[in-house]
A and B are shown apart, each in its own frame.
Chain A
Amino acid sequence: MSAVLEKAPPAERADEQRRSWAAVLALALFEARKLLLRLPVLLMFVLYAAWIGWTMRDAWSSYPALQDVDRATQTGPLLPALAVLLCANQAVLRSQRQDTDRHFDVLALEPWRRTVGFALSVVPAAVLTALLVAAQFTWAVLAPGSVGHGSVGELLVGPLTVLLAGTAGVLLARVVKSPFAAPMLMVLAFFSILFLGAVPGDSNGSATRWLVPVIGDASSKTLPSDLLGRPAVWHALYLFGLALTLALAAVLVNGGRTKTVAAALVVAVGLGTWGAVGQAAKVSKATTDARVLATLNPAKVQSCARHGNSTYCAFPEWVPRTGTWAEVTDHVQSLAGGTAAQEKLLVRQRVEARYGMDADGAIEPSTVPYQVTVGTRWGGPRVPEFAAAVSSVLVMGSEKATGSLCDGRMVTIMWLALGWQSDPLTQMRAVRLDDSVSGSAIVLSPTNPMSMTTQQTDVVRELLTAGPNKVAPAVKAHWAELTAPKVTTAKVAQLLGVKAPAGADKCE
């Protein structure tokens, strides 16, 4: 008899424990459903989905680099994060607002377990964000011509921001029991962060820079993924540790002073600190060295592929794109005459990676004969820019020689670059800095830009309007005269059979 009495209480307690955790789960599910169906949260998720559709609308024609797409998923989730913070806060305060707090005193569920339920209730919102982030990233992966590698650490930032916002809302409601605290603190925090972010002096590698959830870059260029040097995984760990810390702190201040909670809080603070220290570290020596190598001596890390006459060398992540470059090179070369039509070109991909994502730098033109530079981006204006680089090398012999170009050869260069396109005037607009088709302008290329005079622009426009069938034979026939140094624009116009422009060339 006594044995039975001794054994019964622990069994009863375990049963009670199990039942109260079931109640926590039930509360979490109920609150999660309620949170996701709140009007602000719903609207913000709809807006977020619309934002994804808007930013990804031309992913299929813009040749995305996945190491850029993963970072581009981070700003959108700030919309649902804002709503989740405010609504989770409001949900915790609901019982106070409706004066039902004292009813909970008769329940077996302790207040701190209710807080656990509320903290768990924001998890589905984070999961939903993760699904949307995954959809956005998958869309870019599926896009034809996408290259590179995404980082799991960067992709996790969006969902973790929502989780962090939700737990912050719960903690805030447990610390300050007033309905206006959350909106006010949001405004204060938001504008202070914007203000501090705008104040100059926040140099790269600063430890405090990475403390906010989403960190942008000063540069918008595309780099090979191993040269980015962003502490993405550390930052995800930091965000996770911080979210966990806030949730456990809410449980702790609500009376959950058990050993388990205290131990978990210590672990969470440790995780967050570990992440914060990890992300504050300077860019590693290995990455810095790799950046210098990729900038100054890319041949060491590139793989080459042969398409037709020419060789294409690219960073490993871009090798699948060499075929696309070859199509453009072949089109341009097919319009050229003389030896240029059979010239073996070396197309090499080059980047300025020494400053990482903190600053931009121009790529110096190559001095090697018949070497063409191609950048890391593709699609849109990048296509005619590359075509202009190819044609300038075919006419001038090297990229470096193009810098001093100031004569009628510019007409030939531009015609080769644009003549094979189906809509050459649109492409001409795209390749010129001011988007014009008349007057003088700067022509962009992967390295140094070239300049066109008003007269050259007029002749090129006439040639493009006349169509390739009429002009191509004339170019091939007069190739030697067209590419002779110091040939005038008027002479080129006369050779190709279009009206000579009024006035003399004057380079700017």
Chain B
Amino acid sequence: MRVTTGVVGQLVRPVLRALPRRALGAGAGAGLLLAALPRLLSDEPDPWTALLVLRGAALALALGLTFLLDDPARQVTVAVPTRRMLRAALRTALVAPLAALWWTAAVLLIPAQVRPPVGDITLEAGAAAVVALAASAAAVRLTDEAEPGQRVAIALLATSMAAALLLPTEWGLFAAPKDKWWTPGHDHWAFVLAGAALVWAACGPEPVRRRLGGFALPRRLRSTPAH
């Protein structure tokens, strides 16, 4: 169908109402709380802990964003004429300005003298957010779960912790600004961002699974519910 501004305009209000506001709010709140720690608790904040809590804040929002595509009414909305890609894009577009505003606030909460390079750290946060969106888009695309958010959040959290622990220092993904790996690390972050964006775009359309197995039953009617 042709996408007109009229359709989008009509969709804005229901999509806004359907946003998982509590999960996003929890992520944003947790992130702001982390970013405020240096001002709240330490007299002489140091650059390393400032970087640490800012990364924590970015991860918290990314975890909130994994719930963005959760749609409890998925088995119903799959039949509406507006494509899922458009609905998902609209959700993202509605959240994006708020997320940008939130990130500005988080960065400003870090005292200026210990703030890491803003452009680079924003690249990291952007990459984390896009990875979260791509992972949830992939979960929606590849399964017929209505609310894959929690699984994706667990996977993202476990992966990021394991990556911080196990990835070689030379990759520089979790370097400190004074390290020599900081600059190559941010090239790698740019690659992560680009790769995640590609996956995200590829997972946009609704799966064409009906050709293979007939119409998928709602989850709870099937004999072996995945958990």
With a cutoff of 8 Å between Cβ atoms, the chain A residues found around residue B161 in the complex are: 79, 82, 190
B90, chain A: closest CB distance, angstroms: 22
- Residues of A within 8 A of B (CB-CB), count: 38
10 closest residue pairs by CB, A with B: A191-B56, A179-B150, A180-B23, A183-B153, A86-B154, A94-B227, A198-B49, A40-B158, A183-B63, A187-B60
Contact yes or no, A184 B26, CB < 8 A:
yes
With a cutoff of 8 Å between Cβ atoms, the chain A residues found around residue B46 in the complex are: 198
With a cutoff of 8 Å between Cβ atoms, the chain A residues found around residue B153 in the complex are: 179-180, 183
State whether the Cβ of A43 lies closer than 8 Å to any Cβ in chain B: yes
With a cutoff of 8 Å between Cβ atoms, the chain A residues found around residue B48 in the complex are: 198
Chain A facing B: main interface SS: helix
Contact yes or no, A183 B157, CB < 8 A:
yes
Contact yes or no, A86 B56, CB < 8 A:
no
State whether the Cβ of B33 lies closer than 8 Å to any Cβ in chain A: yes
How far does the alpha carbon of A181 sit from the alpha carbon of B29 in the complex, in Å? 12
Produce 1/0 per residue, A399-420, CB < 8 A to B.
0000000000000000000000
Contact yes or no, A195 B52, CB < 8 A:
yes
With a cutoff of 8 Å between Cβ atoms, the chain B residues found around residue A100 in the complex are: 220
How far does the alpha carbon of A43 sit from the alpha carbon of B159 in the complex, in Å? 10
Contact yes or no, B151 A184, CB < 8 A:
no
Contact yes or no, A97 B23, CB < 8 A:
no
Which residues of chain A (86-104) have a CB below 8 Å from chain B? 86-87, 90-91, 93-94, 97-100
Chain B facing A: main interface SS: helix
State whether the Cβ of B64 lies closer than 8 Å to any Cβ in chain A: yes
With a cutoff of 8 Å between Cβ atoms, the chain A residues found around residue B67 in the complex are: 179-180
Number of A-B contacts (CB under 8 A): 113
Give the A-binding residues of B (Cβ under 8 A).
22-23, 26-27, 30, 33-34, 37-38, 41-42, 46, 48-49, 52-53, 55-56, 59-60, 63-64, 67, 147, 149-151, 153-158, 161-162, 165-166, 219-220, 225, 227
Give the B-binding residues of A (Cβ under 8 A).
34, 39-40, 43-44, 47, 51, 79, 82-83, 86-87, 90-91, 93-94, 97-100, 178-184, 186-188, 190-192, 194-196, 198-199
Contact yes or no, B34 A180, CB < 8 A:
no
Contact yes or no, B34 A86, CB < 8 A:
no
With a cutoff of 8 Å between Cβ atoms, the chain A residues found around residue B154 in the complex are: 40, 83, 86-87, 90, 182-183
Give 10 A-B pairs besides A93-B150, A97-B147, A98-B220 with Cβ atoms closer than 8 angstroms: A43-B158, A44-B162, A79-B161, A86-B158, A99-B220, A183-B63, A184-B63, A184-B64, A187-B59, A187-B157
